[in-house]
């Protein structure tokens, strides 16, 4: 896609690793591997993430601390819910127009990418994983996890299925990962959910 040779891509990645902006870990094995070096995943480090726009983090943390002191946790939660609703509502029609949860997850990933989250989806078993490779509010969400909780609830409502947050950048994980079931599941009461 970039018009670069594999060797050129490796050189760029090596520079990012040497500068401390990226790190590596072993890639999960998805089947038989051919010859060559073991597959590696390249991930941004906290230093690498700092290179993205975070100019308002201190102000946002201070403002949310003020809200928490004056109105309590419920006011922080209300703010978080409003923020994510405003962010997602502009993409609601495009996402909900898709016929199934997997396609809605793909549309949501595209919408989140336009908001600076560098999101993607990947099929995993009877579901998909929605991965956000960047989080513009991770420094704030580290202190106020209500932001992540509101986002997860909004994803479930928008996708029309229960979702499960598996990892967040705010908790120190490399990627925010949300599991989205794409096949109907049987509920304990005998009903079926999408």
- Condensed to tens digits (0 to 9), the pLDDT of residues 53-93 reads 655 778 889 999 999 999 999 999 999 999 999 998 999 99
Band (pLDDT 50/70/90 cuts) for residue 186 is very low
Structural domain contains residue 169: yes
Q: Cα-Cα-Cα-Cα dihedral of 24, 135, 168, 164, to 10°?
A: -120
Structural domain contains residue 150: yes
Cα angle value 160/183/106 (rounded, 5°):
60
Two tokens at 191? 């009903």
Write down the pLDDT at residue 193. Answer: 47
Structural domain contains residue 40: no
Contact criterion met (CB below 8 Å) for 122 and 177? no
**Prediction pTM value:** 0.69
pLDDT greater at residue 28 or residue 166: 166
Indicate if the alpha-carbon torsion angle 158, 162, 168, 173 is positive or negative: negative
Residue of 160, 92, 102 lying closest to 128 (CA atoms): 102
Residues with Cβ within 8 Å of residue 7, at least 6 apart in sequence: none
Would you give the DSSP letter of residue 23? E
- CATH number of domain containing 120: 3.30.1380
> For 89-136, what is each residue's pLDDT tens digit?
999 999 999 999 999 999 999 999 998 899 999 998 889 999 999 998
Question: What size, in residues, is the chain?
Answer: 194
**What is the rounded distance in angstroms from the CA atom of residue 146 to the CA atom of residue 131?**
19
Write down the pLDDT at residue 32. Answer: 62
Pick from 22-31, 131-140, 175-184: least confident: 22-31
Structural domain contains residue 49: no
pLDDT greater at residue 143 or residue 193: 143
Write down the pLDDT at residue 22. Answer: 87
Structural domain contains residue 92: yes
Write down the pLDDT at residue 55. Answer: 55
Structural domain contains residue 37: no
Number of domain units in the chain: 1
pLDDT greater at residue 29 or residue 13: 13
Q: Which domain holds residue 132?
A: 57-193
> For 37-51, what is each residue's pLDDT tens digit?
667 888 888 788 777
Contact criterion met (CB below 8 Å) for 163 and 179? yes
How many CB atoms are closer than 10 A to CB 166? 14
């Amino acid at each position: 896609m970039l018009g670069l040779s594999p060797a050129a891509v490796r050189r760029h990645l090596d520079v990012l690793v040497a500068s401390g902006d990226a790190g590596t870990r072993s890639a999960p094995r998805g089947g038989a591997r051919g010859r060559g070096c073991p597959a590696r995943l390249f991930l941004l480090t906290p230093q690498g993430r700092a290179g993205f726009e975070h100019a308002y983090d201190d102000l946002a943390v201070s403002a949310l601390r003020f809200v928490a002191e004056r109105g309590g946790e419920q006011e922080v939660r209300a703010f978080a819910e409003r923020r994510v609703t405003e962010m997602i509502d502009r993409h609601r029609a495009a996402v909900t127009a898709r016929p199934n949860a997997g396609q809605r997850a793909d549309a949501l990933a595209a919408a989140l990418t336009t908001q600076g989250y560098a999101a993607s989806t990947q099929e995993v078993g009877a579901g998909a994983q929605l991965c956000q490779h960047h989080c513009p509010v991770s420094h704030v969400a580290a202190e106020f996890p209500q932001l992540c909780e509101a986002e997860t609830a909004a994803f479930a409502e928008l996708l029309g299925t229960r979702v499960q947050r598996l990892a967040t950048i705010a908790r120190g994980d490399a990627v925010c990962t949300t599991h989205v079931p794409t096949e109907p599941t049987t509920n304990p009461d005998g009903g079926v959910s999408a």
